[in-house]
Amino acid sequence: MSSGSPNALARVTVLAALLATLLGSGCATVPSSPTTAPFENHLAIKQNHNLVVSVAVLTDAEAEQYFGCPLGKQDVQAVWLKVNNQTDHPIGLLYRNMDPDYFSPFEVAYAYHRPFEKNRNRNLDELFDQSRFPPYVEPGVTASGFVFTSRSEGAKFVSVEFWYGGGLSRDGFYMRLPSGRFDFEEADFAKTYPPGQVKALDLAQLHQRLEELPCCTADSSGAKSGDPVNFVLIGDEDAVMGALVGQGWDPTHVIAGHSVGLTVKSFLFGSQYRYSPVSRLFYFSRGQDLALQKVRDTIHQRNHLRLWRAPLSFRGKDVWMGQISRDIGVRFTWQSPTLVTHKIDPDVDEARDYLVQDMFASGFLQSLAYVQGVGAASRESPRANLTGDPYFTDGLRAVMFIVDQPVPSDQVTLIQWGEPLPQD
C-alpha cells in the first residue's frame, strides 16, 4: 500500500496526535535537586508518643514548582511529611492508612515519561523515588519526604500512623485547602458571635437547651419550616471537621456561575459533581455556616449535611447544630438558583444514624447521646420540607462528642443524661 493512501495518512495522523499527547503530558523540566520548599511555610505540627510530626499538603502550583510536573492534572496530591523520632525504637509509616489509593513514586513518574527520552525518564524516576518518605525511621533520626495521595479540593484529612513493636502512634491533621470556591471560606467561626454572647453550659443545661432549640430549618423569612435539625456535634472546629473530612465528607462549592454550570451539566448527563453546591437553609436566622457531602457516581444521589455554630459551648468546646438527609433523585426547578433540586429519602433517621456510624468509624467519637427536639412524625402522617418532600422521624437528635485524639470503639460511652461525661 502506498504511503499516500487514505488509510496510511489516517495512521500517520493518529500517530502524530498520540505523540503530541504523550509529549504534552510530561513535565516541563526535571529538577535534578529541588531546593525550594514554599510549602514549609504552612506546616501543621503535632507531638505524640515522643514523635514530632509535621505535615503540609502541596497546592497544584507548589507541586509543579517543586517537581516540575503538574501533579494535579493526574489527580495526584503530594503530602510532605517530616518526623523527628525521639523514641528508642524504629517506626514504620503505614502509607495505606493515609490513603488506601496512594500512588507509588514510580507510578507518578511514569505518568510524565516521554517517548524516546530514556535519560530524562530515568532522572524523573530517580527524582520521585528519592523524594518519597522512607518506610522506616530509626530512633533518634529526623526523616522527611512525600506521600503521593489522591487529590482533594477544599479540605483534606491526613492520617499519619506509625507502627512499632510496642503499638501504634496515630495523629490526624485537618488541612484547609482554600481556593475561593468553597462555602466554608466565607465563614469566620471565631467571629460568628460577639464576645460574651456564647453561653457556657454544664451537661444538664446542655441537655435542656438542645431540646429547646427549634426543631427545623426554615426559609430566609423564617415563616416556613424545612428539614429537621437532627444531629449535634460538640468539639473544636478542627476536631469536628477532621472527623468528617477523614470519613470522606467533602466541602461544597458556593453557588456561583461556575458551579451552577457544572450542576446543570451533571444533571443533564447524570455525571458526578463531587463538590456540587448545597442550597441554603436557615437556622439561628442565617444560612448554614458550611455544608458537606458524600456523592455517588451521579449527581442524583448523595448524602449531605449542613452545620451551624450555636451560641453555646460545653467545656470550652463549640456546639454545632446539624441537618442531614440523603438525596435519592434530582428534578428541574426554577425555584432553585442551581436550577435543580434534590428529592430526599423520607426516612431522615436513616441518614442521621449513618452519620453516627461514620463518627464511630472515624475513631474520634468520645460519647453519644440522644435528645428530643425534632418532634416525631409518622409514616402515615409525615411532615414536608421546603420543597414539599415528605419525611418521617422518631423525633430525636443524635448528640456526638468529638475529640482530637483517637478513641477505641469499645470505649465510646452512651450518655444517659444525668450521667457524667468522661474526662477528655
Question: CB–CB of 170/406 below 8 Å?
Answer: yes
- What are residue 136's DSSP bridge partners? 92
Three-state SS for 13? helix
Phi, psi (deg, nearest 5) at residue 119: -65, -45
Q: How far apart are CA 394 and CA 380, in angstroms?
A: 13
- What are residue 402's DSSP bridge partners? 365
Crossing angle for the helix pair 118-131 and 60-67, nearest 10 degrees?
120
Each residue of 3-27: b (16+ CB within 10 Å) or e? eeeeeeeeeeeeeeeeeeeeeeebb
DSSP β-ladder status, 167-177 and 136-137: unpaired
- What pLDDT is attached to residue 343? 82
- What pLDDT is attached to residue 329? 79
- What pLDDT is attached to residue 300? 62
For residue 66, which of 28, 98, 119 has the smallest C-alpha distance? 28
All residue ranges of the chain with pLDDT < 70 are: 1-26, 28-36, 259-271, 298-301, 331-340, 422-424
Residues in the chain: 424
For residue 318, which of 241, 234, 240 has the smallest C-alpha distance? 234
* pLDDT tens per residue, range 259-313: 666 666 666 566 677 778 888 999 999 999 999 999 877 666 678 999 999 999 9
Q: How many CA atoms lie within 13 A of 394 on its CB side?
A: 11
User: Using CB atoms within 10 A of its CB, is residue 186 exposed (0-12), middle (13-18) or buried (19+)?
Assistant: exposed
Beta-sheet strands, E only, within 178-301: 199-201, 216-218, 225-228, 231-234, 250-251, 282-283, 286-287, 290-295
pTM: 0.84
In this structure, the dihedral spanned by the alpha carbons of residues 159, 164, 165 and 167, taken in order and rounded to 10 degrees, is -30
167, three cell numbers? 503499638
Secondary structure element (H or E) that encloses residue 174, with its range: strand 167-177
Q: What angle do CA 196, 399, 235 make, to 5 degrees?
A: 50
Q: How far apart are CA 266 and CA 295, in angstroms?
A: 12
- What pLDDT is attached to residue 60? 94
Three-state SS for 256? coil
* pLDDT tens per residue, range 131-155: 999 999 999 999 999 999 999 999 9
Q: CB neighbours (10 Å) of residue 418?
A: 8
- What pLDDT is attached to residue 388? 87
- For residue 423, give every residue at least 6 positions away whose Cβ sits within 8 Å of its Cβ, in sequence order, or none: none
